[in-house]
Amino acid sequence: MDRQAFFEQLAGRKNPLAFQPEHEPRMERLRLRLGDLRGKRVFEPGCGAGPLTERLAEWVGPAGHVLALDACPGMVKRCGEAVASHGHVRAMRGKAEEADLEAGAWDLILCFRFYPHLEDAAGFLRRCGEWLAPGGELVIANLEGSRELNAIHARRAGVRHDRMPSGDELRRQLQDRGWQVAEVLDEPEEFFLRARRA
Ligand SMILES: C[S@@+](CC[C@H](N)C(=O)[O-])C[C@H]1O[C@@H](n2cnc3c(N)ncnc32)[C@H](O)[C@@H]1O
């Protein structure tokens, strides 16, 4: 099974990748790390069925805007249904590497449980640099550390080769590409990296 088939199959399940009670303290940590998002313009690539998108809708509030994008049609449909009552949130189908977004228009690009699945991470990061508004931030976050996430992926056929770099590796890769990395955490129950264009 390839990655696309894996996610399409997952999209057909009840509540794909829904947060479990043990995730809640990690989600609260993520919310605190992201800070006050009210009124912010947030791009969420790889949104899946939208478990985080629903929370982002609340966190940015009606003065903000969330664009959630996913390559898998089944996931986008689920996400669109989940946020249908929020006029300031849009769910769109597409590959993150090829997204046609307004340049300089986004306060936050939030890659949540998404980064290791990118086919062209270098190309995507270059585009992120164009999409972010001055002072805007790129955040790459997971609910597990890189080691723990890679162990989970190793057991799943469609994503077996989707490797999450360690915090140090990703910091170096970003710095080499002209990003300023302000914060990196790679702990068993949290991966969080925040960067800005240098
Ligand atoms: C592990 S899931 C996480 C979904 C969501 N962020 C969540 O936390 O539930 C990864 C998602 O990334 C999507 N995806 C994978 N490669 C993609 C790409 N190149 N562009 C956009 N979405 C992609 C998959 O379809 C899948 O829905």
Residue 74 has pLDDT above 90, yes or no: yes
141 CA from centroid of ligand 1 (Å): 13
Number of domains in the chain: 1
Amino acid identity of residue 159, one-letter, is V
- Site to probe by mutation for ligand 1, drawn from 14, 43, 117, 140 as the one with most ligand atoms within 8 Å of Cβ, is 117
pLDDT tier at 1 (50, 70, 90 boundaries)? confident
8 CA from centroid of ligand 1 (Å): 10
Residue 73: which region, alpha, beta or left (left: phi > 0; alpha: psi -120 to 50)? alpha
176-186 residue pLDDT tens: 999 999 999 99
120-133 residue pLDDT tens: 999 999 999 999 99
Average pLDDT of the segment spanning 40-65: 98
pLDDT recorded at residue 72: 98
Q: Following CA atoms 162, 166, 168, 169 in sequence, which dihedral angle do they give, to the nearest 10 degrees?
A: -30
What is the C-alpha to C-alpha distance for residues 118 and 109, in angstroms, rounded to an integer?
14
pLDDT recorded at residue 16: 92
Backbone angles phi, psi at 29, to 5 degrees: -65, -45
Average pLDDT of the segment spanning 141-162: 97
Residue 9 has pLDDT above 90, yes or no: yes
pLDDT tier at 2 (50, 70, 90 boundaries)? very high
pLDDT recorded at residue 88: 98
Q: Whose CA is nearest to atom 8 of ligand 1?
A: 113
Higher-confidence residue: 20 or 198?
A: 20
- Site to probe by mutation for ligand 1, drawn from 110, 114, 127, 159 as the one with most ligand atoms within 8 Å of Cβ, is 114
Give the mean pLDDT of the chain.
97
Give the CATH number for residue 105.
Answer: 3.40.50.150
80-110 residue pLDDT tens: 999 999 999 999 999 999 999 999 999 999 9
Q: Whose CA is nearest to atom 18 of ligand 1?
A: 95
Buried/exposed code over 163-179 (b: 16+ C-beta within 10 A; e: otherwise): ebbbbeebbeebeeeeb
Question: Terminal CA-to-CA distance of the chain, rounded, Å?
Answer: 40
CA 77, 143, 194, 4 dihedral sign is: negative
Residue 131 belongs to domain spanning? 3-15+24-197
